[in-house]
Amino acid sequence: MISFSEIKDLNESNYWHQLYNDSFPDYEKISFDDLIQLADSDHRIKMYLIKHNNKHAGILYLVDLNDKAFILYFAIDSSIRGQGLGKLVLNALNSKFKDGFILECESTIGSFANSKQRDARYRFYIKNGLIDTNLFSIDSGEKFHLLTSNKDCTKDDYLYANKLLGISVDVINHK
């Protein structure tokens, strides 16, 4: 069973921080201290541990917009990837956020040093029911596909969530 829990102690904080550092390139990262401060300053900003059968399985950082959410960071622990946990987490997110969630996925249009990884990540999301909005967000000079779990979670939700996070983004059509 998948569950989401807030960080309760130093060990959980260290786990979250380590997985965050291991999972995201520097240009995508916000300082860990700033992430904590944002989550502490606004009840809508959540810093979750993903647990599978009460064991650490990954991390989530999101903006909870009641029945909708923007997922800023989502990572499964590399030691247990490939076991279907990502799909279980997406299903759990669909249950938790009835009106949908939206997230960014690195652009797959073009040639990149990690093109295979980007393509695999994009295919994973699409295979598991996310919808490409045909929009790109531009953040930190990089393009990201905006993917949503359903059409009720929109670009406006995405922009509002980023405003709460203090992140300036642009959104453009990619078709």
Per-residue pLDDT tens, the chain, 175 aa: give them.
Answer: 999 999 999 999 999 999 999 999 888 899 999 999 999 999 999 999 999 999 999 999 999 999 999 999 999 999 988 888 999 999 999 999 999 999 998 876 877 776 788 788 899 999 999 999 999 999 877 888 899 999 999 999 999 999 999 999 999 997 6
Q: Quick one: residue 136, left, alpha or beta (phi over 0 = left, psi -120 to 50 = alpha)?
A: beta
Q: What is the CATH number of the domain that holds 148?
A: 3.40.630.30
First vs last Cα of the chain: how many Å apart?
38
Helix axes 32-41, 10-23, angle to 10 degrees: 120
Identify residue 115 by its one-letter amino acid code: S
Q: Residue ranges of the alpha helices (H) in the chain?
A: 10-23, 32-41, 85-96, 115-127, 155-165
Q: How far is CA 146 from the centre of its chain?
A: 11
Task: Of 17, 19, 50, 23, give the one whose Cα is nearest residue 35.
Answer: 17
**In the chain, how many domains are there?**
1
Domain that holds residue 136: 2-173
Q: CA neighbours within 13 Å on the CB side: how many for 168? A: 2
In three-state secondary structure terms, 147 is strand
